[in-house]
Every structure is written in structure tokens, then in C-alpha cells.
Amino acid sequence: MTTIAVLGSTNMDLVAYVERAPERGETVTGRAFVSAPGGKGANQAVAAARAGGRVAMIGAVGDDSVGIRLRAALDDAGVATGALREVAGASGTAHIVVDDAGSNAIVVIPGANNTLTALAPGDEHLISGADTLLLQLEVPLSAVRAAAEAARRHGVRTVLTPAPAQTLPPGLLAATDLLVPNAHEAAALTGIADPHEAARTLLDRVPEVVITLGGAGSLYAARGADPLTVAAPHVTPVDTTAAGDTFVGALAVALGEGRPMEPALRWASVAAALSVRHAGASTSMPHRAEIDEAAGGARRRAVG
């Protein structure tokens, strides 16, 4: 079983479902509201655990009822939470609007996540024992860079999701093995709208890139190799909130198990496609048996 460490955010997602998102200055009436545990770090941790990885979470929650619920959700998913700190104050929240097409708009209020500015005693040891370290950008860059550099010292593969998109320090990129932006984030990092051109530019900074393209699948590029495009299974989306995090978590498991990149991408794409069929972030993420069954069906249809 592959071992994965995750350093990142834990948030409570507060989700409003609407026919269409409001324009600036406009009020619309929603049809439903739910609250569910989320945050890009916690989402990737849950996705990897459900996909079959042994996962540990490094992060922070507040000393409020939300923090209790966030920790319990990770525990229930089988994620180790010994390195999940409790700090005074409010836990992080994400305020999400999901329209009837499954698209979303999100406002994140970091709360306790902003206290994660450095590694705590024991964090580097936890990272050193992992096969893969997953990172995102919903916690302070200082901690993200420290974790990436710790992983580099111990030969641990580092996978960085550059979201929310922002300028990345060279030291962080130098310690990143695989960068996984979506098309918007790739464009923000490079100033180039075309994903293929953006991927080529990003290879000047990191050795491998996967750009997720939503329903169009994913694009893989590596130094010294031809680019690879993998289609996504066709599904009717209900909520795309955590599709990218599901993809990354499943991809980390597949790569940690030694799968070549193309089948790993296909398996991760199946996991992401399964996740968008249901509402919620971590609550929508598929388990390993579901991914394997759906991936087997997709292979049979392709052969037939």
C-alpha cells in the first residue's frame, strides 16, 4: 500500500445550489444548502485514502465545533490526523455556489489554516516516511515550501496543485516533481491560454506537468518526452467542486503503486468523473472498488 502525506487546508464547505450563479449586485433564490467537510488538502487526503492509499494529514483546525467535525470526517475516511493541529479561533470555511450545470464559484476564508506557517516537530519525520507528498496553496506558502524541501531531502515525490493560482517562488518549484494545475491555473502561471503551450513553458520550471482540462480530460508533459492527452469519461455533472482534488488523490495512489503515467491518468480520470455525479466535496469521492469497477467498464467499452 502506497503511503501519502498531505499538507494543506481543512475547511467546512458551505454550499448553495442555484439554477444559475448571481451576477454582480444581483440576488438569486437557491434551491438547497448543505455544509460538508472540505478544503483542498483534506479533499485530496480523503480522495487518496478512499482510492486505497495510507494517508496522513498535516494541517490545522480551530477549537470550535467546526474543527471537531473536520477532524472526525478525516478520521472516518481513514486519514491519520495526529499531525492535524488544533489552534485557538475559527476553523476555515469555503462559501460555494453551485449552478445547475455543475459549475461552481468559491470564496475561502482560511481561519485556522493561516496559522500553518511552518512545519511542527514531527512533520518532517512523517513526510520522510511517505512515498508521495501532496501540496496545495490554501495555506501559507512558507509551510508549503518547507514541506516540499523536506520531501526533497528525503527523496519523496512532491505533487503540487497550484490553487488558488498565485506567483510561485523558485525554491518551491525547484522542490516540486509534478505540478498539477487546471487550465485556468496553468494560464495564470504562464500568461499562455493554450494548455499545450503552457505545459511546455512550465517544463522550464518543473520536470513533469499534468494540466487538468475538466470534461476534456488531462494533458501530461515531461522533459524529453512527447506530450500525452487522456480523455475523461463522459458524465453529466451534478457538482464539480472536488473533481480536481479527487483526480490528484487518485493519481497519487496510482503512481505510488508503480503504474505508468498513462494508465494512472486514466484511472484518476475515472475517479474524478465518478465524483462529479454527486453533490458535495469529500462526500462525493469514490472508493477504490467503485473506481476499479468503473475503470474496468471503460476499458471493456473501449475494446468493444
Binding site members: 11-13, 39-43, 138, 182, 212-217, 239, 241, 244-245, 275, 278, 280, 284
Dihedral angle at the C-alpha atoms of 94, 147, 265, 195, nearest 10 degrees? 70
177 labelled catalytic: no
The one catalytic residue in 123, 177, 245, 292 is: 245
Cis peptide, bond prior to residue 164, ω within 30 of zero: yes
Q: What are phi and psi of 244, to 5 degrees?
A: -65, -40
**Contact status, residue 190 vs residue 201, Cβ threshold 8 Å:** yes
Q: In what order do the strands lie in the sheet with 30-38?
A: 30-38, 11-18, 92-98, 104-109
**Contact status, residue 86 vs residue 65, Cβ threshold 8 Å:** no
**Contact status, residue 115 vs residue 33, Cβ threshold 8 Å:** no
Which residues are marked as active site? Answer: 245
